[in-house]
Amino acid sequence: MDFVFKELSDAIWLHEYFIKKNQTITFYETTFQNQKQYILTIDNHKVPIQEIQSGFIQFILIKKRMDWARDILKEYFYYKEESEQDNILDIVTEMFDGERPELMKMVGVMNDEVMIREAILSLFDDHKSISFDSLIKFRLKKYFEQLIQYVEMAIDEYKMEQEYQVFIQMLRDYLANRKACMDTVRIYFGEYGKFYSKEYQELSKEQISEMIDRRLITNHPVYIDSVTIAPLLSIAPKKIYLYADSADNGLIRTIQNIFEERVILLEKEQFWKEKNSYPINH
């Protein structure tokens, strides 16, 4: 059985795959219509057809999938900068690895191994020759359509992350020029964040409202959380103690990203231990 490739790197990858599996495979170069072709020959009488199929599927999943995703970025969406491509492809990889469930809910889970297996299965029936470029053109159309959706979703996420970073930097710049109204603020996260002073005295809504810089709300009404972020930025404390069950919370992550080393994250139980042991007349 012959595999015909136009790209040398593709032929080399599959050749090395089967060599590592201790399978006999020959590799040679030829010319067809003034174009170089690279041909891999596997003796399907010695190598089980299922192993050949599996090798070909792994070749697509491990090597070609991200090659194609990069091509889609360049040709469909005109992302020419390699650094931008890399950042977007990192998101695509995370989607395939199941690390972006929030994105997968929107675009749908693609069982790409099953899709590829179904597309190529009949190709191995005649046990003769498989042109990789013909396979792409005629057999993997649905797979490409799904891959384009993944890339498009990754682009949207990348743009949002870029906007988020600009937003965070803007708030850091604001904070750098803001004088601290209090040295220390404690926030206890229950149903919502409650503000406390360094001495564990709860700050009333009126007290917090008086300290808020109204320009934050007026200039950025959509992005600035008026309940927690705006008061913190306005108070600009040197230390922020956050008491929460988990750091896996969008608001807490945003506070950490803005205030950086000023933030100390503690468990909620710690708050009550400290408060109850704090001298009343301190």
Give just the sign of the alpha carbon dihedral 140, 21, 23, 35.
positive
Residue 52: Cβ within 10 Å count = 22
SS (H, E, C) 76-140: CCCCCCHHHHHHHHHHHHHHHCCCCHHHHHHHCCCCHHHHHHHHHHHHHCCCCEEEHHHHHHHHC
CA–CA dist 195, 193 (Å, integer): 7
In three-state secondary structure terms, 34 is coil
Q: Is the pTM of this model over 0.85?
A: no
pLDDT (0 to 100) of residue 68: 94
Q: Residues 52-77: pLDDT tens digits?
A: 888 889 999 999 999 999 999 999 99
Task: Yes or no: say if 197 and 182 are a contact pair by the CB < 8 Å rule.
Answer: yes
Which residue in 66, 113, 56, 57 sits closest to 93, CA to CA?
66
Beta strand pairing call for 129-131 and 35-42: unpaired
Which residue in 180, 153, 16, 51 sits closest to 93, CA to CA?
153
pLDDT (0 to 100) of residue 126: 62
Report which of residues 280 and 255 the model is more confident about: 255
pLDDT at 150 over 90: yes
Q: Domain coordinates of the chain in residue numbers?
A: 2-172, 178-277
Q: Residues 192-225: pLDDT tens digits?
A: 889 999 999 999 999 998 898 888 877 765 567 7
Q: Look up residue 101 and give its two tokens.
A: 């469930």
Q: What is the mean pLDDT of the chain?
A: 89
